[in-house]
Amino acid sequence: MTGVQVHHHVPEVPPFLFNTGGPMSRTRTERIFSSLLTEESRVIRSRSVIQLALDFGPEDPLDVVYRILRTAGIESPEALRGCCEIPGEGLLCRERPLEPIDARTSEPALVLRQALMLGLCTRILFDPARPVLWTHASLTRRVELYAIENFYDA
């Protein structure tokens, strides 16, 4: 097609402040237009492993997951490790506007697995070796977990 112009929309990226280690006179501004967590055609690829998102309605997230845990006869969040299959390696976390499952009405095993995995996540990393930490913030995160592949392959 001749005479047709294609305009690619580049989403506005919020500014991030990074410490450059030098005085303010040596600072600079860089705009980042790419992400590791996108296209398969890039040299550095990432594979989405799982999406985690729970909805607790008006109830307290901790009350809901501990109630499900007690009903299942499991004594602690750490004891879930023996009941649920989870990835054995660290994964990157990316907060996303995901559609959550209803923790009050969904299959208890699904809710507990997601709660376990959310308890092993920070804002940026899923670490299966860390203690399970259930907080309001950890249980209400909506994250997609990614495995980074082909980092050094050209």
Segment 90-126, tens digit of pLDDT: 999 999 999 999 999 999 999 999 999 999 999 999 9
Domain contains 16: no
Distance CA 110, CA 116 (A): 10
Domain contains 142: yes
What is the count of structural domains for the chain? 1
How do residues 35-74 score in pLDDT, each as one tens digit?
Answer: 555 555 554 556 788 999 999 999 999 999 999 999 999 9
Domain contains 110: yes
Domain contains 38: no
CA-to-CA separations, 112 to 48, 79, 92, in angstroms, rounded: 20, 11, 21
Domain contains 119: yes
Which residue segment(s) compose the domain that 59 sits in? 45-149
Count of residues for the chain?
Answer: 154
Domain contains 6: no
Domain contains 141: yes
Domain contains 31: no
